[in-house]
Amino acid sequence: MKVKQLIPVQKEIEIDKLIEQFNNEYTLRVHDNLVVEFANSVSKSVLKNKLLRQFPAFVSLAYWLRKSNFKFLIASALSSNNENIQLKPLGAVLHICPSNVDTMFVYSLFLSLLSGNKNILRISSKLDSQEIDELFNILSSELSREEFIKINNYITVIAYGYEREVNEKLSLSVDCRLIWGGDSTVEMFKGLKTKIKTKDFYFADRVSCCIIVASTYLELSENSKNDFTQKFYNDTYTFDQKGCSSPQIILILGTSEEYCEFKNNFKLKLHQFVSREYIYDPMSLASLKLNKLSEDAIERTIASYDSVNNSLIFCELTGDNIPHSCGGGYFYIKNIEEINQLKNFFSQNIQTISQLGLSHSQIEFLVQSSYGQGVDRIVNVGKALEFNPTWDGYDLLQELTSKLFVEKQNFKYRT
């Protein structure tokens, strides 16, 4: 059974041959300085790339890959370990990457590489993204440089379709699987046999919401309101509002008067950014929105809607359930008068809460009321898409290494 290999070099490769390569010698150490240099070099190339540097998501990625950040990551990973603990890689890690332009899988790839693991990335053979192609070109050319030859063994990207046999073989051969994808993808992989000790990380379907204290927003100066709106825009429209951590629901804490005032003000402000910056195909977006409005009306999910045009729609949510938006600027919105009403919205599905104006004690309250529920991140508006090594409840940098207990050699037999 052959698959198409994209990185380190383009060729057809027999899947068994690929698996054999896992047995090659481990030439990198955990937190190897060569990986830090490699990441830094990729970072520079991304920033120099004319296409990629136009996209905020890739600029953030490049920023995250810098040497100083990696040194910081290593230092914080080491600080929590005691002196008897030595870190070692988990082994071979299979990454199942999403078929959109979301860059999250690149972050987890580099964390895994930094942990000294051998990585194999599965890309959908249907993936059609100029940006990702460009990023892969950068990785290929960096890997081909003399100084990074040791890393060649550590990153393999392959593209294939639905072939179950390939998934079965890979699942049985790796020591860890990171599965970015929807519920059905996760379930499919959960059904495949793995080694007994294989460690899995699932990044399934999640929704995210934004909580805004109306009075906080309304008291902001005109400049700060604009600044806030730009941040909200970046959180939502960057990946067509389809990133897992992009808010689909806006919950407004305040009186009904404050709510109306907020909505009218914010709608126009946000629309200014959208009409200036958001690039979309109006014909397809119009049909998408009308379909979703009709579906939501039939399901009684929404009671009414409010829009300036089809690139920005606020739908008045009727109940406490968290529906999935169709993206492209389709927001569910609801007024909440008391903080303890918020917990009605928590479910296993909630990933990120981005917020404006919540106090320490209110956040503390949210944390406690999320016990046994979803909610993996509470961040300020503007940081919804910012990657953190702690993601979906996993501290990836810790979890992607194995901990080896080595007793201190200070005991001596009497001679």
Partner 1 sequence: MIQTLFENEQFSVKEKNKWLFPFINNLHEHHKDKCEEYKLISDVLCKKEPSTLDELPFLPVSIFKERQLKSIKEEDVFKVLTSSGTTGSVPSKIFLDKETAKLQTLALSKIMTHVLGKERLPMLIVDSKSVLKDRKSFSARGAGILGLSVFGRKHKYLLDDNYEIEKDTLLEFITLYSGKKMLIFGFTFMVWKFLYESDLTDGLDLSKAILIHSGGWKKLVDLAVDNDTFKKKLHNKFGITSIYNFYGMVEQVGSVFLENEKGYLHCPNFADVIIRNPEDFSVQPHGTPGLIQVLSALPLSYPGHSILTEDIGVCMGENDLSWKGKYFKVLGRAKKADLRGCSDTFS
Binding footprint of partner 1 on the chain (CB under 8 A): 96-100, 102, 104, 124, 126, 162, 179-185, 188, 203, 205-206, 239-244, 281-288, 290-291, 293-298, 300, 302-305, 307-311, 326-328
Shortest Å, Cβ 283 to partner 1: 4
Rounded Cα distance, 316 and 100, in Å: 29
The answer to whether the CB of 91 falls within 8 A of the CB of 117 is yes
DSSP-derived pairing of the beta strands 2-7 and 155-160: antiparallel
State the nearest-atom distance from the C-beta of 299 to partner 1, in Å.
9
Question: Which one, 194 or 311, has the nearer CB to partner 1?
Answer: 311
Tell the smallest beta-carbon distance from residue 204 to partner 1 (Å): 8
d(CA 238, CA 215): 27
CB of 234 to partner 1, least distance (A): 16
Q: Which amino acid is at 91?
A: G
Give the nearer residue to partner 1 in terms of CB position, either 214 or 317: 317
Q: Which residues pair with 179 in a beta bridge?
A: 96, 202
Give 126 or 276: the residue with its C-beta nearer to partner 1: 126
CB of 300 to partner 1, least distance (A): 7
Residue 376 backbone phi and psi in degrees, to 5: -110, -15
Closer residue to partner 1, CB minimum distance, 1 or 404: 1
Q: In the beta sheet, which residues pair with residue 202? A: 179
- Give the Å distances, CA to CA, from 58 to 45, 65, 147: 11, 10, 24
Q: Are 130 and 155 in contact (CB under 8 A)?
A: no
Short-list 389, 357, 358, CA closest to 376 = 389
Beta bridge partners of 158: 5, 122
In whole angstroms, the minimum distance from the beta carbon of 358 to partner 1 comes to: 26
- Beta carbon nearer to partner 1, 99 or 137: 99
Nearer to partner 1, 296 or 376 (CB): 296
